[in-house]
Chain A
Amino acid sequence: MEPAVATEGLQKRYGRSWAVRGVDLVVEAGQIYGLLGPNGAGKSTTMRMLLGLIRPTAGHVRLFGRSIGLDGVTEPGLVGALVEAPALWEYLSGYRNLAMVAGLSGAVSAAELEWALRRVRLWGRHRDRVKTYSHGMRQRLAIAQTLVPRPRLLVLDEPAGGLDPEGLIEVRDLLRELAADGVTIMLSSHLLHEVEQTCTHVGIIARGELLASGRVDELLGAEERYQVQVTDEQAAERVLSSLAAVREHQRVGEREYAVWLAEGGPEALNAELVRAGVGVRGLARRHTALEDIYMELAGASRASAEAIGSAMQELPANLEGGPE
């Protein structure tokens, strides 16, 4: 079965600056894939290239095996997309906005429009002009536009923008419901908890490069660690350095360590510390948040970019701008 999204060496360059460089991405059908990165990381550019809104400088995009050319997605019902902030015709009603956009994918029944509007809690206000809508309502209407006709792939760029907590939960539920119905979802966000709570898979992007990609639980599971608070820092340091069961340890605060165990459980660690006369004031298992992985990867990327930057400065001027 063809992946829902596959990119190969996707690049976009504006003048001398790279927006996206060499992104190889695979999103299998049925996944909820989150593209995570800070503002300016290249998420939106990547999303736009997937949809044919921006022409890649190099590389290819395939959606369900179909190559995406200059005309973007031309097959009805294949992709529903929301790119950045909701864009609507303010002087038209919510219903008319939805009907106008949905109609471009072929015949759409009134029942489908009603379902989408009810699903985003806009039925009842659907006859009002969009200019009377709040930001959250506009966001919900824009999400409704992506649902009619029901797409095989939903591409959402920052779908949580402007939503209140209730709206966020509803969107999360809606995405899970759609995924359960077999809709593949790809969303981008700079909100770590949103991706962590919504997505099955995640790709971390920074400075236009895809730094990591995989299952959310695998990424988190691989980095399980313990947080230990002790009374005597010097003694604790000595014990943690000498113990074979401790794979790695790191001072994270005053009399506080992060410890990765190679073998054994936290009870063994506790016993060893106490035996050495180190008082243990706290010992807690800490699931690594996506934030930690993200910060680690983004930090590494920044360091490598800085290293490349200083190397470039040392190059003779005539070598600059050579082959990338």
Chain B
Amino acid sequence: MKLGRLLADELARIFWQKGTYVGYGALVVLVSLMTLAIWRFGSPFHERLEAGSDFLIAGKLISGVTVARLLMEPALLVLVPLLVAAISGGVFAAEMQRGTMRVLLCRPVRRWQVATAKYLAGWTHAISLTLFLGLSGLLIGWAVFGRGELIAFRGGLTILTEQMALLRLGQAYLVAALGMCAVASVALLCSQLVHSPLTATAATVAFLLIGGVLAAMPYFEWLSPYLLSTHLEVFSQLFSSQVEIAPLRWPLVCMGLYVVVPFIIGQIVFRYQDITC
């Protein structure tokens, strides 16, 4: 009951800030620009298809699902993690900076409830942002290009029926949402450890970037399976003609750990933290 109330308040505080909608606005702008570019210059698949002279292209090459698919890499590897880090990075730190944390904790609430509500709100925002990206891509894509199949390249050419493409897109966006929840968890933990939202956001972005750099270096190849940055792109495996579960298992477990471990550490930190703000 109390947790539900805290979560509702937390979500209200996130979604009543104008700044939150800057993120959604940025995604709409990205989707629109991408759709415009595809409409004007064609799909990036065009060149690859035309390069293989054995192909005869007949029918519709681009549809709404194509837009939703093409968006994923640029948005979910750069923009959405940044937006998630910006909001989640402020969830604890902004309360500390404003002093409203002490107002909350002077009320008859338990610390674990406050921390849990904040993590749940951060995850909710991350999921909503990811699904919003997919939905807006699909809707704008449908509006401009209409309905049709999804042509994807992953270890060869794959053509998915619209029904299958929608299913795969749904699964891929859910996997991406798990990754964004992991980013949110890291940002929330950073937000607990520093008292500035900007610092928490910067620390999260640095964490992701350093992970990406390390994964690209041969000396740290052994570290790569344990880095969050390595697994954020795992959703692309869902667009193969046959989806294999085994290669997905560890990335999903790893991202799940990145969601849960910061949460547990965060609970311990918050329980013993002196509120001096």
Asked if residues A101 and B107 are in contact (CB atoms below 8 Å), the reply is yes
When the two chains form the complex, which single residue of B9, B110, B272 contacts A55, counting CB atoms closer than 8 Å?
B272
From B99, B100, B102, B110, residue with most partner A Cβ within 10 Å: B102
Quick check: A53 and B17 within 8 Å, CB to CB? no
CB distance from B7 to the nearest CB of A (A): 12
- Tally A-B pairs: CB < 8 A: 78
Asked whether, in the complex, the Cβ of B12 is within 8 Å of the Cβ of A74, the reply is no
Which residue, B5, B9, B16, B108, has most C-beta atoms of chain A within 10 A? Answer: B108
Within 8 A of A (CB), among B1-36: 2, 5-6, 9, 12-13, 16-18
CB pair B13 A89 closer than 8 Å: yes
Residues facing A in B240-277 (CB within 8 A) are: 271-272, 274-276
B103 is an interface residue with CB less than 8 A from chain A: yes
B108 A92 Cβ-Cβ under 8 A = no
Residue of A48, A55, A74, A90 near B108 (CB, 8 A) is A74
Docked Cα-Cα span, A90 to B9, in Å, equals: 15
State which size class the interface on A falls in. 20 to 34
Q: Tell me how many residues of B have a C-beta within 8 Å of chain A.
A: 28
Q: Given known contacts A54-B276, A55-B274, A88-B100, is B18 in contact with A81 (CB within 8 Å)?
A: no
A53-B275, A84-B99 known; A104-B109 Cβ under 8 A: yes
| Chain A binding surface, main DSSP class | loop
Rounded to whole Å, the gap between the CB of A288 and the closest CB of chain B is: 36
At the interface, yes or no: B98 with Cβ under 8 Å from chain A? yes
Within the assembled complex, what's the spacing in Å between the Cα atoms of A85 and B110?
23
Q: What separation, in Å, do the CA atoms of A178 and B137 have in the docked complex? A: 58
A52 touches B108 (CB 8 A): no
Name B105's contact: one of A53, A89, A100, A103 (CB within 8 Å).
A53
Contacts A70-B111, A87-B99, A89-B98 given; does A53 touch B18 at CB 8 Å? no
User: Beta-carbon contacts of B30-72 to A below 8 Å, as 1s and 0s?
Assistant: 0000000000000000000000000000000000000000000
Expressed in whole angstroms, the minimum distance between the Cβ of A248 and any Cβ of chain B is 44
A300-311 contact mask (Cβ, 8 Å, vs B): 1 or 0: 000000000000
A278 within 8 A of B: no
In this complex, what residue of A is CB-closest to B9?
A: A100
Q: Is A76 interfacial (CB-CB < 8 Å)? A: yes
Q: Are B99 and A85 in contact, with the CB atoms below 8 A? A: yes
Contact A53 B100 (CB under 8 A): no
Cα distance, A253 to B235, chains bound together (Å): 85
Contact status B105-A72, CB under 8 Å: yes
Cβ–Cβ contact B111 & A104, under 8 A = no
Complex Cα spacing A122 to B99, Å: 21
A75 lies within 8 A of chain B by Cβ: yes
Determine which of B2, B17, B101 lies in contact with A104 in the assembled complex, contact meaning CB atoms within 8 Å: B2
In the complex, what residues of A have CB within 8 A of residue B110's CB?
A: 71, 74
Q: Is the pair A103, B108 in contact by a Cβ cutoff of 8 Å?
A: no
Contact of A83 among B9, B18, B102 (CB under 8 A): B102
A91 contacts B17, C-beta separation under 8 Å: yes
Pair B16/A91 contact, Cβ less than 8 Å: yes
Write out the residue numbers on chain B whose beta carbons fall within 8 Å of the beta carbon of A241: none
Are A104 and B108 in contact, with the CB atoms below 8 A? yes
Contact at B274–A92, with CB atoms within 8 Å?
A: no
Instruction: Determine how close the nearest CB of chain B comes to the CB of A171; give it in whole angstroms.
Output: 18
How far is A116 from B12 in the complex, measured between Cα atoms in Å?
Answer: 23
Contacts A84-B99, A85-B99, A91-B17 given; does A73 touch B106 at CB 8 Å: yes
Residue in A52, A53, A74, A85 whose Cβ sees the most chain B Cβ within 10 Å: A53
| Given A71-B110, A87-B103: 19 more A-B contacts, CB < 8 Å | A53-B274, A53-B275, A54-B275, A55-B272, A70-B271, A70-B272, A76-B108, A81-B106, A83-B106, A87-B99, A87-B101, A91-B18, A100-B9, A100-B12, A101-B103, A101-B107, A104-B6, A104-B9, A145-B103
Partner-A contacts on B (CB < 8 A): 2, 5-6, 9, 12-13, 16-18, 98-111, 271-272, 274-276
Sampled A-B contacts (15; CB under 8 Å) = A48-B274, A52-B105, A70-B111, A71-B109, A74-B108, A74-B110, A75-B108, A84-B102, A87-B99, A92-B13, A100-B12, A103-B5, A104-B5, A104-B108, A105-B108
